[in-house]
Amino acid sequence: MKHAGGSSFGSRRAFGSMGRAAAGAGRWRRSVLVLLALGLAAPAVQAQDRYPSKPVRIVIPFAAGGIGDRVGRLLAQQLADIFGQQVLVENPAGGDAIPGTVAASRASPDGYTVLQVTSTQIVNMVFRDKVPYDLLRDFAPVARSSTTPLLLAVPATSPYRTVPDLVAQAKARAGAMPYGSGGVGSISHLSAELFKRAAGVASVHVPYKGYSAMLPDLISGRLDFSFMGQADVVPHLAGGRLRALAITSPQRVSALPDLPTMREIGFKDFESAFSYTYVVPRGTPEPVVRQLQDAIVKALANATLQERMVGMGLILVPGGPEQVVETIRAELKQWGQVIRDANIRPE
């Protein structure tokens, strides 16, 4: 009995050891399976987190075919090559870019919606009442792209060959000189008001619905002058229909090396331009913002893109988030002051 009892105890101990060994082996197998699962999942997680892993869209809230649209599409082509992913352009035009800007602010903050911001959207904030967006509050700044300087243009048949000629006649005609713009509150309108204030002259504003509607009257001489984007004026300079008296950029541009700046003529600190920057909805992860910024700066360094943009009358001014905020704040201050001084109101 004692032997039998000893044998029984030994069997139970052996069984217990085998059970513990089996249990340990089970735990080891489960641990290995977990580790394998984690290892297999890691590439999937990385692939999911990789940006961009699907098409990116650039929202340009203006009609297709305009200079802003062309700027955005050039950038989109370069970004597609950099990302190895489609970059689509959407044009929710109309409403002075307000509906498209608002829609972009409400998009998912994941980096897949990028908004092109221009001077029009900036001016809206100080020109219109209760604009339903705030570029500094609702968006995260990404990168600055370029600007378009304006030209002070007169008809080719005009007797005014210099800015002083124009100023002298404006003073002599005591406010009877008409000038045209692309619309009330447009950069062409505000630039002309800035000029009037700096020159101490009065003039009659004749607003149009865009440059194309205004050009026939300017070319024919019904209007005495206008401030227009370089890209809109240059073809008419070459065709002998318009004459440019000055450019509003701080320095002369390579495309028009003989054209003086307003500052050179004596208008100290005079500067006017139409800007292009890029933002994303507020809350977009910082690493994604940095990737977008780096990609846009890299795109702007492309020689082919630079050549085409300069050919369109643009000045490249690449920069990061700080430069975007700087541009928006500077234009809010500059154009807000002009709007208040001239008491400009929406139509």
User: What are the sequence ranges of the domains in the chain?
Assistant: 56-148+275-342, 150-265
Return the minimum-mean-pLDDT range out of 23-32, 192-201, 251-260: 23-32
CB-side exposure of 275: number of CA atoms within 13 Å? Answer: 25
197 token code pair: 């204030």
Q: For the residues 265-289, what does the mean pLDDT come to?
A: 96
DSSP string computed for 92-109: ---GGGHHHHHHHHTS-S
The per-residue pLDDT for range 61-117, each reduced to its tens digit, is: 999 988 999 999 999 999 999 999 999 999 999 999 999 999 999 999 999 999 999
The per-residue pLDDT for range 8-17, each reduced to its tens digit, is: 334 434 434 4
C-beta separation of 331 from 122 below 8 A = yes
Q: For the residues 186-206, what does the mean pLDDT come to?
A: 96
Please give the pLDDT value at position 216: 96
Question: Whole-angstrom Cα distance, residue 240 to residue 156?
Answer: 6
**Taking 90 as the threshold, does the pLDDT of residue 243 lie above it?**
yes
For helices 187-199 and 321-342, what crossing angle results, to 10°? 60
Burial degree of 128 (CB within 10 A; 0-12, 13-18, 19+): middle
Question: Whole-angstrom Cα distance, residue 140 to residue 301?
Answer: 23
Q: Which long-range contacts (CB under 8 A, 24 or more apart) does 123-129 make?
A: 123/185, 123/187, 123/190, 123/331, 123/335, 123/339, 124/96, 124/97, 124/98, 125/332, 126/332, 126/335, 126/336, 126/339, 127/185, 127/335, 127/339, 127/344, 127/346, 128/96, 128/98, 128/185, 128/346, 129/346
Has domain 56-148+275-342 been given CATH number 3.40.190.150? yes
- Peptide bond preceding 52 in cis form (omega within 30 of 0): yes
First-to-last alpha carbon distance for the chain, in angstroms, is 113
56-148+275-342 and 150-265 agree in CATH topology:
yes
Say whether 178 sits in a helix, a strand or coil.
strand
CA distances from 337 to 76, 203, 228, 268, 344 (A): 34, 19, 21, 17, 10
Computed over every residue of the chain, the mean pLDDT equals 88
The per-residue pLDDT for range 139-173, each reduced to its tens digit, is: 999 999 999 999 999 999 999 999 999 999 999 99
Please give the pLDDT value at position 284: 98
The amino acid at 259: L
Looking up tokens 């070459």 gives: 238
Question: Whole-angstrom Cα distance, residue 335 to residue 150?
Answer: 15
Please give the pLDDT value at position 347: 81
The pTM score is 0.84
Please give the pLDDT value at position 202: 94
Question: Dmax over Cα atoms in the chain, in whole Å?
Answer: 135
Q: Which residue has the higher pLDDT, 4 or 224?
A: 224
**Taking 60 as the threshold, does the pLDDT of residue 31 lie above it?**
no
Please give the pLDDT value at position 46: 39
Q: For the residues 288-313, what does the mean pLDDT come to?
A: 95
Residue 225 backbone phi and psi in degrees, to 5: -165, 170
What's the topology of domain 150-265? D-Maltodextrin-Binding Protein; domain 2 (3.40.190)
Residue 255 banded pLDDT, cuts 50, 70, 90: confident
